[in-house]
Every structure is written in structure tokens, then in C-alpha cells.
């Protein structure tokens, strides 16, 4: 197939409730939506980057710039030889910028699969028609507010709760929420790199609360520190920010840095790299689950499809649309008995609501060859 044009929409969608992590608070999700126009039809992708480079070095302005100046021109240069599977190799000379690359790969793959009448889940090798989901709950200064949020999510039927933690909002919060969920309910925490290996004794106190895992306690480059921490606590360590490629999984395996991996296709530079990481983890007996970045329905559709692969044995972070947005950019994903249904239509299997996209778009680029 041949790429004819790419449109970048910068969208600002208000969140229904603030989302605070150890690296900052968001009340609005500002996100780049990519539309690829090809000779076979259109496809859509969503960039996982945010306004600020706080989760990773990428941010919306860097993603836009690298797409405009470096990534999209390489795909225009491929002529008639473009396919979803070819995108990663075509973009390989550009270092990093994984989230921008992934958004473009998904848009091209979506166009290809829509034209072929094949769903993304089927293309990736999915084996489930619905996936178990949890909810990632932000930090708040008020423990009563936190308990109220969690009680609401439990009521709605979410199958797992993840609490964001940071120094000063950790052990006591977890203890209180564990009382609320009762013993045995799947509960986990995510520190987004807020601790240091010198906090190992403090973090080991989390072992009292029967958590599924502690996600990314230490900085992303500290594979050795995570390995030491893994030896000093019983709760399994899960890596998020640290894992940007299969090579990072090999490092973690060699050192014993984690027992579980959070897979986010944006963070690893593509859906196909995400599947390779899944395959490597399955071979090594490491459970995986699918993380999220407060996606709209466009990104959520690809996460849910990925989550239908057999190794995704723990509930994912992608919740129903109404947990994030009053109005989504696609038909809403709805929680059904603690699960989201895997779209079965061609490509992403969701339709972008052109009226909603136009309403929430604050800036736009239209890119053509030459
Ligand atoms: O660390 O998993 C994370 C959201 C934004 C940035 C980083 C993270 C998150 C989440 C929310 O935890 C996941 C979601 O609900 O999409
Ligand atoms: Mg995380």
C-alpha cells in the first residue's frame, strides 16, 4: 500500500477526575491523534505521549516534531512498499521516539487491516473475546476521598485496583484500602520511579498487604537496584518505565530485576515489538499485563486487542471510557462484568466520531509527500 497523507490532531479532553502520580497531576488529557490516509483507505493511531516529559522523555511537541520532520517522510519515501509490518524497520534509523513511532505504526496497520477486513486482535493472535480490567487510581491528599473513589470502582465491578503511591502516601494508604477491599481482592501499587534502593526496608513493609505486585519503584535505568529490591521483598517487582524493548527484558531476566512486566505498546515503540516482548516473557514464564496512558477509545482499542494475547494473564489498566472521559473519541468502551469486550470489526474495530474529534481538536497538521 501507499501512504497519501497524514493528519495530526492535537486533542484536549477533560478528565472526569484528576489523575495524580508521583510525577504530577493531570486534569485534562492532551494527546496527538494520527490519521493515515492510504490508497487502501484510512487508519487511526494515538500517541501515548503527554504535554510534559515526566513519564518518559517524549512529550506532545517532541512527538509532533519528529513525526513531521523524520518519521512521516520515511513512510512517504517507501512508495508502494508500505505495510504495517514494514513500519518499524523503515523508522529504525531514528533513535528513540518510541511513542511517536508506535502511533504511526498503528495508523498504518489499522488502514491495512480495515482494507483486509481483519480485526487487530485476530491479526496479533488474540485468544480472548473479552479482557479482565482493573483501574489505576491517582494519589490524593485526602484518604477519605481515595476510599470513596475505590469504593465506587469496586461497586462498578473492576477486577483489580492499582493505587499510585509516593513517599508520604504509601504504607498507610495501602493498609486502609486493603481493609476496604478485604483479603484476597487483587490490589497492586505503582510508584512511577519515586523511590531509591536505599528505601528497600520501607518498601518491604508493603509485604504485609498481600499485593499482586509493586510497579516501577525505582528509576527506569536502575536494573541492578530493582534486582536487589526483588531479593529484599516478597511482593513481586513489576517493571513499566524500565522496559522499552526486548533487550531490556533480557537485561531484567539476566539480573532478576522483576517477576512481572507491564507492556505498553507506546513505551516500546510499536505493537509488533509489544508482541515480541509478550512472546519473550511467556517463554521465560514472566506474567505480563497491559498498561495504559489514559488513552481515548482509539488507543484503548489497540490495548484491548493486545490484551487478548494468551500471556496477558493479569488484569490490564485500561478501564471503561467513562472512568476517564464524559465524551470519548469513539463509541465508548463499557465495563461488562469487570471486562471490556475485544472489538471484532476490521482494524481497531472502533469508529472515530468526527464531530467529537473536531470539537476537541486544538491544533492540526496536514502532511503530504514532497
Ligand atoms: O505508570 O502506568 C503508569 C497513566 C499515565 C502515565 C503512566 C501511568 C498511568 C496509569 C494509568 O497508571 C493507566 C490508565 O488508566 O490508562
Ligand atoms: Mg506504571
Whether residue 223 is predicted with pLDDT greater than 90 in this model: the reply is yes
Tell me: the pLDDT tens digits for 183-194?
Answer: 999 999 999 999
Q: With 0-12 CB in 10 A as exposed, 13-18 as middle and 19+ as buried, what is 354?
A: exposed
H helices of the chain, in order, are 60-66, 72-76, 87-91, 98-116, 120-124, 143-156, 171-181, 200-204, 223-232, 246-255, 271-283, 297-307, 354-360
Mean pLDDT of 221-249: 98
Question: Is 242 close to ligand 1, i.e. is its CB under 6 Å away?
Answer: no
Q: 77 CA to middle of ligand 1, Å?
A: 35
Tell me: the pLDDT tens digits for 16-68?
Answer: 999 999 999 999 999 999 999 999 999 999 999 999 999 999 999 999 999 99
The predicted structure's pLDDT at residue 251: 98
User: Helix 297-307 and helix 271-283: axis angle, to 10°?
Assistant: 30
Which protein residue's CA is at the shortest distance from atom 7 of ligand 1?
Answer: 293
d(CA 192, CA 203): 14
H helices of 10-117, in order, are 60-66, 72-76, 87-91, 98-116
Ligand number nearest CA of 293 is 1
Q: Please choose from 47, 134, 293, 315 the residue to mutate so as to test ligand 1's pocket, defined by most ligand atoms within 8 A of CB.
A: 293
Q: 239 CA to middle of ligand 2, Å?
A: 8
d(CA 99, CA 108): 15
Mean pLDDT of 128-156: 97
User: Helix 271-283 and helix 246-255: axis angle, to 10°?
Assistant: 30
Judge contact between 360 and 328, C-beta under 8 A. no
Q: Please choose from 22, 30, 244, 292 the residue to mutate so as to test ligand 1's pocket, defined by most ligand atoms within 8 A of CB.
A: 292
CATH architecture, domain defined by 122-341: Alpha-Beta Barrel (3.20)
Question: Is 66 close to ligand 1, i.e. is its CB under 6 Å away?
Answer: no
Query: Which CATH superfamily is 3-117+354-367 part of?
Result: Enolase-like, N-terminal domain (3.30.390.10)
Whether residue 370 is predicted with pLDDT greater than 90 in this model: the reply is no
Which protein residue's CA is at the shortest distance from atom 8 of ligand 1?
Answer: 293
Q: 41 CA to middle of ligand 1, Å?
A: 32
Which ligand 1 atom sits closest to the C-alpha of 164? 12
User: Grid coordinates representing 308?
Assistant: 487478548
Q: DSSP code of 203?
A: H
Tell me: the pLDDT tens digits for 330-350?
Answer: 999 999 999 999 999 999 999
Mean pLDDT of 158-187: 98
Mean pLDDT of 124-130: 98
Tell me: the pLDDT tens digits for 276-326?
Answer: 999 999 999 999 999 999 999 999 999 999 999 999 999 999 999 999 999
Query: Which of these, 119, 14, 18, 34, lies nearest to 299 by C-alpha position?
Result: 34
Question: Is 136 close to ligand 1, i.e. is its CB under 6 Å away?
Answer: yes
C-alpha 98, offset from chain centre: 12
Question: Is 291 close to ligand 1, i.e. is its CB under 6 Å away?
Answer: yes
Active site residue 264: yes
Question: Is 271 close to ligand 1, i.e. is its CB under 6 Å away?
Answer: no
- In the chain, % helix, strand, coil (3-state, to 5) comes to 40, 25, 40
d(CA 279, CA 273): 10
The predicted structure's pLDDT at residue 201: 98
Mean pLDDT score of the chain? 98
The predicted structure's pLDDT at residue 165: 98
The predicted structure's pLDDT at residue 42: 98
Active site residue 162: no
Q: Please choose from 17, 21, 189, 216 the residue to mutate so as to test ligand 1's pocket, defined by most ligand atoms within 8 A of CB.
A: 21
Q: 294 CA to middle of ligand 1, Å?
A: 6
Listed by start position, the domains of the chain span: 3-117+354-367, 122-341
- Out of 95, 101, 162, 264, which one is annotated catalytic? 264
Query: Which of these, 238, 264, 271, lies nearest to 102 by C-alpha position?
Result: 271
Which protein residue's CA is at the shortest distance from atom 13 of ligand 1?
Answer: 292
Question: Is 60 close to ligand 1, i.e. is its CB under 6 Å away?
Answer: no
Query: Which of these, 169, 220, 161, 152, lies nearest to 187 by C-alpha position?
Result: 161
Amino acid at each position: 500500500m501507499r501512504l497519501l497523507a497524514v493528519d495530526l490532531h492535537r486533542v484536549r479532553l477533560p478528565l472526569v477526575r484528576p489523575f495524580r502520580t508521583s510525577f504530577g497531576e493531570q486534569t485534562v488529557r492532551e494527546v496527538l491523534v494520527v490519521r493515515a490516509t492510504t490508497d487502501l483507505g484510512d487508519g487511526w493511531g494515538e500517541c501515548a505521549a503527554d504535554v510534559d516529559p515526566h513519564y518518559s522523555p517524549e512529550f506532545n511537541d517532541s512527538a509532533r516534531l519528529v513525526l513531521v520532520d523524520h518519521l512521516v517522510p520515511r513512510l512517504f519515501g517507501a512508495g508502494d512498499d508500505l505495510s504495517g509490518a514494514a513500519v518499524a524497520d523503515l523508522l529504525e534509523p531514528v533513535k528513540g521516539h518510541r511513542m511517536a513511532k508506535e502511533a504511526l505504526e498503528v495508523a498504518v496497520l489499522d488502514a491495512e487491516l480495515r482494507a483486509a477486513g481483519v480485526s487487530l486482535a485476530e491479526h496479533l493472535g488474540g485468544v480472548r473475546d473479552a479482557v479482565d480490567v482493573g483501574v489505576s487510581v491517582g494519589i490524593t491528599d485526602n484518604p477519605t476521598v481515595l476510599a470513596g473513589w475505590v469504593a465506587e470502582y469496586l461497586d462498578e465491578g473492576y477486577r483489580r485496583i492499582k493505587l499510585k503511591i509516593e513517599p508520604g502516601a504509601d504504607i498507610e494508604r495501602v493498609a486502609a484500602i486493603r481493609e476496604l477491599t478485604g483479603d484476597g481482592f487483587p490490589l497492586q501499587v505503582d510508584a512511577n520511579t519515586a523511590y531509591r534502593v536505599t528505601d528497600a526496608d520501607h518498601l518491604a513493609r508493603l509485604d504485609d498487604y498481600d499485593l499482586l505486585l509493586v510497579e516501577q519503584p525505582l528509576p527506569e535505568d536502575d536494573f541492578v537496584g530493582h534486582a536487589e529490591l526483588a531479593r529484599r521483598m516478597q511482593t513481586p517487582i513489576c517493571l513499566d518505565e524500565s522496559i522499552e524493548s526486548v533487550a531490556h527484558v533480557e537485561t531484567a531476566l539476566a539480573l532478576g530485576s522483576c517477576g512481572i512486566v507491564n507492556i505498553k505498546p507506546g513505551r516500546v515503540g510499536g505493537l509488533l515489538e509489544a508482541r515480541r516482548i509478550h512472546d519473550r516473557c511467556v517463554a521465560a514464564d514472566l506474567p505480563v499485563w497491559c498498561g495504559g496512558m489514559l488513552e481515548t477509545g482509539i488507543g484503548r482499542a489497540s490495548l484491548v486487542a493486545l490484551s487478548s494475547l494468551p500471556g496477558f494473564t493479569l488484569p490490564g489498566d485500561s478501564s471503561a471510557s467513562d472512568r476517564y472521559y464524559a465524551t470519548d473519541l469513539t463509541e465508548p468502551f463499557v465495563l461488562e462484568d469487570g471486562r471490556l469486550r475485544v472489538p471484532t470489526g476490521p482494524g481497531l474495530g472502533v469508529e472515530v466520531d468526527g464531530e467529537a474529534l473536531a470539537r476537541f481538536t486544538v491544533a492540526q497538521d496536514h502532511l503530504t509527500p514532497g
